[in-house]
Structure 1
């Protein structure tokens, strides 16, 4: 299963979960479900926004759990 794994990248860049939440402008409930992998889908626009904010690629934030 593919999972969002942004916490290591946030830590490396000295940024917080709260900072990312404010930058994305999502509701906190939806944001929290997304970053804690409690949802079954993520919009492409959210992946793109996260990658732009963290200067990364989707490969850096999506991990396969095998």
Structure 2
């Protein structure tokens, strides 16, 4: 299942790599694609549904990033 999200706080390739690694460490996330154009746009592939709160909790391991769902 793929879902679109916006991750605020992404400003460079290093941010993309850190956020991608952190999200993909979650056992229910198969793949996280994060883009710099448009900045912070993300496509996350999950093998079980996760809420935005679940994803934010995973991102809280890093400082300065917030995630919202794009419908």
TM-score by length of 2: 0.41
Higher relative contact order (CA 8 A, sep 6+): 1
TM-score by length of 1: 0.43
Higher helix share: 1
